[in-house]
Amino acid sequence: MSIALLVIDVQQALVDALEPHRRATFLHTLADLIARARALGTPVVYVRHTDEELVPNTSAWEIAAEIAPQPGDAIVEKRHRDAFRETNLQDVLSRLGTDRVTVCGMQTEFCVDATMREADRRGFRVTLIGDGHATYPADGATEEQIRAQVHRVARGKVAEIVSAADVFAIR
């Protein structure tokens, strides 16, 4: 079996809402991660959210240009936090022969968390890229605090937490 890289909801409107430095750092991390995955032949599966703010065929809804899909990449369209719910993600991963998913994207405490938990529930081995997911400050918590809380709860129970530099290392 094999690994697939899941890139969740890294859409123009969502990344544009990050602070400029954070946006640049986050997209650079993901671009490097995706390039290394591709170099090793690891499939990259994009997940794209649709709702009243992320309207299909608008610039806000598009996947960020810095990490745009390439021809042949799967793009899974979703309407719920969990990328498996009412989508073809399970079928895409089955066709790829995937038993392990490496997860990155937005938003940490919503779609990233829900998708990695459902992947685990479905029997996938899950790796969360510790520095490869982003969110916004909320309810008095900083982005760093939100990300750390997701790591504390998921580590060893739902996912292995690994830095982007340590995943898909080309030797």
CATH number at residue 88: 3.40.50.850
Does 157 reside within a domain?
A: yes
Across 13-23, average pLDDT = 97
Number of structural domains found in the chain: 1
1 pLDDT exceeds 70? no
Residue 84 in domain: yes
pLDDT score of 170 more than 90: no
Mean pLDDT of the region 1-10: 94
pTM higher than 0.85 = yes
**In this prediction, what percent of the chain has a pLDDT beyond 70?**
98
Q: Which domain holds residue 15?
A: 2-166
Give CA–CA dist 105/114, Å, rounded. 12
Residue 31 within any structural domain of the chain: yes
pLDDT for 168 equals 84
